[in-house]
Chains A and B, each alone.
Chain A
Amino acid sequence: MVAAVIERRDEAALLDAAFRPVQAPGRWFWPLFVGLGALVAVAAVAYGYQLLTGLWVAGYSDSAFYGIYEANLVAFIGVSYGGALVSAVLRLTNARWRAPITRMAEAMALVSLLVGASFAIIHLGRPERIWQLIVSPQAASPIVWDVIAITTYLVATLIFLYLPLIPDLAVARDRLGPSAGRLRRTFYRVGAVGWNGTPAQRRSLNWSVGAIAILIIPLAITVHSVLAWAFSMTSRPGWHSTIYGPYFVIGALYSGVALVIVVVAAFRKAYRLERYIGLQHFASLARIMAILGAVYLYFTFSEMLTTGYVRTREEASIVAVLLEGSFAPAFWGFMLGGILLPIVLSLVPATRKVHYLVLAGVLAVVGMWLKRLLITLPSATAPLIGDAWGSVQFTWVAIVITLGATAAIPLGLMIIFRFVPILSLDEMSEADDEPGVGLAPKGSLQAEAVQ
């Protein structure tokens, strides 16, 4: 009896926490929303300017034909991949602690994918002609592979976010009163697709979530490999590398887990979720991140050693500019601040504190963005004939668009959590109780009737 009372109180607290962003997001919400929205709006204006005047306003030239947009494309799609994979792998390995963070990871995967994919359009000289990719695709082109992989993965990410959401939408449908507003109530009713938590429904949901969790892993690997291959299917020094597929996949995972840490920490603080997300969650995520960082370090070493040792003329020049040339400060800055320091912060007992682990996450995310620039720029500016290197300009247009895209991620997440519970209620109650019971809305209605 006492246990039941505590359980009910816990349940109420959990519901309150999960729906806090929907019902009472806090005083900071609207100012932040406007601020981030303004950044996105300025970026949109900058893009309009770029459309009207040409890509030169983004700092490009014939001797630096790829640069910041391509780095953004890889970086943003990369973090998306990390979010999806963390959730999928933890689901498949039945790691119970995942429950409070999966929703945020999956939503982050969706939002950053949308932002990342938009750079595939932003970087085009003729974005209004992308329909050509559909009416006259050339199957041998890695960009066509990209289009197929990214759109498939986008659908999978949507499904992956939506399926585990169904029981939670049913909870919202049954528990949130008229205060939620007509729009949301309709959304919950439609979105919950008649979920009542019956054993048959639960069986089919479990099966579908399991299937999509398995599917999304090879899909995510495909997306990022194909993205890498767009670079390595050219004969350019630095890009034409057999390691690029797995190298990009690991880099994406590393930065993705890092961003999950940052996102979870931010929303935990903003919506006071400390009761459900503790140091243990961050420590576990950080440990995964550190392992991936170590693998990335190994890949980087392997790449540098094999190309630097043989010293083919063009390849050696890329290694040289990275290790000791004009890109050396950025490269060593990344190696120390973007990989070694995050690994140390994640693993050393003395820094096993939330703020240190979040710092590690921030360093890894920023460091990996820098690394993508270090992948894009040297090869795009290297001379293939003669010895005149190109140089990229960091113009206000490119910077403003990059900042706007960065702002779009928290903004998108804030919007999503205004509609759906930020915590995965269903999984959390599964994690607490015996599996399969869940926070079934029917059961809870019965409990109310008994009371």
Chain B
Amino acid sequence: MTVPPDRVDLVELPQAADPTRRMTRRQALLALAGAGSALAAGPLVGSIVQGHPADPTHQGETPLPARRWAMVIDLRRCDGCKKCTEACQAKHYLPPEQEWIKVYTLRDRTGVEYAVPRLCMHCEDAPCVRVCPVTATFVDRDGLVLVDQDKCIGCRLCIAACPYEARYFNWTEPKVKPLLPTKATPEFPSPQQRGTVGKCVLCVHNIKYGELPYCVDACTMDALYIGDLDADVATNGTETVRLSTFLSQNNAIRLKEELNTKPRVWYIPGHGEDLEW
């Protein structure tokens, strides 16, 4: 399913706090051959860089090539500071109880505590999409699981179906609202709507335009990587890695692999973590 054209540009562009860091970040994302370059060089170059043509069914909108966004969380680096959560909540105008990226404190077999950030896994075979009675939850063409809050009836079966507790419900009228009267869209669902479901959108409103997700940007430990499985690169904002090599060399795993949901989020364990969450 695709996003209607009127939804594409409704994006809050992030501000550059630190120009030097911004440069590195920009360069890193250019390595993704991402939306930034496609936008600058036009559809033809974009498609050549991508190796496959722009989707002809989306002539009306910016001809962004389809991606397979992925996230890598390096648990060796995560210290559980929750800066990712704070940034996400602040930038998406979320109340404290909605932790689209939530840092769990778990214990390994020896009783040592370790932190595990959990966001929406953007599963390739997402149980939440399957159970939604009204197609309010859908997969966009870049493989991201999004929610149309104008359509959601609030039955919460997706919350029941999600094995990762990644979905949140607006049990009350959202108290935090954007400063400007923006129109909420599936890609930038702020303000949240009472009586509907919300969740991590992997900052599609940023990554599509060559910017880092808020959580990745906020992580001072450089533990979070955003990348594209097709372009086979990922970046944490400081360094860029070849995604496939990075995953295989570090024995990356995915949560609840046995459920066959095929998450797009990988974890790099490093301290002998108990993987049976």
Q: Which residues of A line the B interface, CB within 8 A?
A: 53-56, 60-62, 65-66, 123-127, 129-130, 132-133, 136-138, 140-144, 147, 230-231, 233-236, 239, 313, 380, 383-386
Contacts and interface: CB of A to CB of B under 8 A. Distances in A.
A133 B196 CA distance: 15
Contact of B133 (A61, A137, A313): A137
Contact of B194 (A125, A140, A235): A125
Contacts, number: 129
Contacts of A385: 104, 106, 116, 118, 164-165, 255, 277
Contacts of A140: 130-131
Contact of B169 (A65, A142, A236, A239): A65
11 contacts: A125-B152, A126-B196, A129-B134, A132-B133, A132-B153, A133-B133, A133-B153, A141-B157, A230-B157, A239-B160, A385-B255
Contacts of A65: 156, 159-160, 169
A61 B98 CA distance: 11
B269 interface: no
A129 B153 contact: yes
B160 A130 contact: no
B43 interface: no
B259 A386 contact: no
B155 interface: yes
A125 B165 contact: no
B168 interface: yes
B14 to A, nearest CB: 27
Interface stretch (B16-24, B27-35, B58-66, B170-178): B170-178
Contacts of A56: 171-172
Contact of A125 (B127, B153, B161): B153
B18 to A, nearest CB: 33
Majority secondary structure, A binding face: loop
A138 B195 contact: no
A236 B160 contact: yes
A384 B36 CA distance: 38
Contacts of A142: 131, 157
A62 B169 contact: yes
Per DSSP, chain B at the interface is loop
Nearest to A235: B163
Contacts of A130: 153
B157, B164, B170 — most chain A CB neighbours (10 Å): B157
A137 B134 contact: yes
Contact of A235 (B116, B127, B159): B127
B110 to A, nearest CB: 17
Interface string B216-256: 00000000000000000000000000000000000000010
B135 interface: yes
Contacts of B163: 235, 384
Nearest to A63: B165
A138 B276 contact: no
A326 B158 CA distance: 26
B151 interface: yes
Interface string B111-138: 0000010100000000100111111100
A138 B155 CA distance: 13
A123 B152 CA distance: 13
B97 interface: yes
Contact of A54 (B106, B132, B173): B173
A63 B227 CA distance: 31
A137 B132 CA distance: 9
Given A132-B153, A140-B131, A386 B169 contact: no
Nearest to B130: A140
Given A136-B151, A233-B161, 20 more contacts: A54-B170, A54-B194, A56-B172, A62-B98, A62-B159, A62-B165, A65-B156, A66-B156, A125-B169, A132-B133, A132-B134, A132-B151, A133-B133, A137-B134, A141-B131, A141-B133, A144-B133, A147-B133, A236-B161, A385-B165
B143 interface: no
B196 to A, nearest CB: 6
Contact of A234 (B98, B104, B153, B157): B157
Nearest to A143: B133
Contact of B153 (A55, A66, A124): A124
B133 A231 contact: no
A321 to B, nearest CB: 18
A234 B259 contact: no
B53 interface: no
A132 B106 CA distance: 40
Contacts of A132: 133-134, 136, 151, 153
B160 A126 contact: no
Closest 10 A/B residue pairs (Cβ): A125-B154, A125-B195, A56-B171, A143-B133, A54-B172, A141-B133, A132-B134, A126-B154, A234-B161, A126-B195
Given A55-B154, A60-B171, A143 B195 contact: no
Nearest to A132: B134
A154 to B, nearest CB: 18
A125 B170 contact: yes
Contacts of B152: 125-126, 129
A362 B115 CA distance: 50
Given A234-B160, A385-B116, A141 B151 contact: no
Nearest to A58: B171
Contact of B277 (A54, A62, A133, A386): A386
